[in-house]
Amino acid sequence: MNINQLNKTVTIFADTGENIWTDPYVAQQMLAAHLNEQADGATRNKSFVEKSLKWLNEEFPAVDYPKILDLGCGPGIYAEKFLRAGYQVTGLDFSRTSIDYARQSAEEKGLEIDYICADYLMADWQEGRYDLIFMIYCDLGVLSHEGRKLILQKAAQALNPGGKLIFDVFTPEKYKEFTPTQTWQIEENSFWSAEPCLHLQRSKQYGRTYLDAHHLLYEQNQKTFYIWETVFTPEEVIEELRAEGFTKIEVYSNLAGDLWEADSDTACFVSAIK
């Protein structure tokens, strides 16, 4: 157990090598969160998902936008519904646990969805051509500035003429009452660990970026998970989009198409190159 590591200053967007999407135990907990239709865990609740899909299907129908790429597709909750609405769907996700579930679900239901298990920062998905590219539930905000820039560049390359990049982010409203915290407890069979451990949780603010750090201390080893999240004003996102060639940009309060309101804790962007 390296106690000294707990006292080190964490640089913004530091990576411990541990990841909630690839850790064998935590990834299973994330899958369960995705599949919980009553909560806004890894996927939003069922009511919002249905409202979101209704708006997307009406505004961007499959007859006009037939080919979809769902970045961070998880276990395929949106992907399956998109396919049933008439789209051709490719889903890409970093979590082997989620992709395995998505593939099995699609096979059992006779759904032809192309699922890819890969890191969307590293994979060459920009070589495909799509009419709609989605990043759903504020995925863009977990990336560093360089990571966001890369994703936007790839999306610009991968869109067909007239295609749309559609994503949402959290706004500063989400953290308007934020205060740093530091807690610890002994736990087992929890979200974070099946085995008994000392769980230290810390939160910290770096300007518009927030860190949720989890240290799991066992008798013989330890794990540390860093979860980063950046929030944005619409103007900041528009600036990043324009820097990568997106010129037609619409802003909504959420992925269900509600009109933009300044006190919304999310913002949704529909953007195109021209």
Tens digit of pLDDT for each residue in 126-143? 888 999 999 999 999 999
Largest Cα separation within the chain, whole Å, is 58
Closest CA relative to residue 228, chosen from 175, 155, 269, 153: 175
pLDDT in tens, 179-192: 999 999 999 999 99
Closest CA to 238 of 139, 154, 158, 171: 171
For the entire predicted model, the pTM comes to: 0.96
Q: Is 1 a residue whose pLDDT tops 70?
A: no
Per-residue pLDDT of 220-229, as tens digits, reads: 999 999 999 9
At 242, the pLDDT band (50, 70, 90 cuts) reads very high
Cα separation of the two ends of the chain:
54
State the helix-helix crossing angle for 77-84 and 96-109, rounded to 10 degrees.
30
Query: Do residues 12 and 229 make contact, with C-beta atoms less than 8 angstroms apart?
Result: no
Q: Which domains does the chain have, with CATH numbers?
A: 3-21+175-229 (no CATH), 37-171+232-272 (3.40.50.150)
**What does the pLDDT look like over 52-76, one tens digit per residue?**
999 999 999 999 999 999 999 999 9
For residue 272, the SS3 value is strand
- Per the CB < 8 A criterion, the answer to whether 266 and 254 are in contact is yes
* Res. 170 pLDDT band, cuts 50 70 90: very high
Give tens-digit pLDDT for 133-169: 999 999 999 999 999 999 999 999 999 999 999 999 9
Say how far apart CA 130 and CA 126 lie, in whole Å: 9
256-to-39, 50, 82, 170 alpha-carbon distances in Å = 17, 9, 15, 14
Q: Is the pLDDT of residue 3 over 90?
A: no
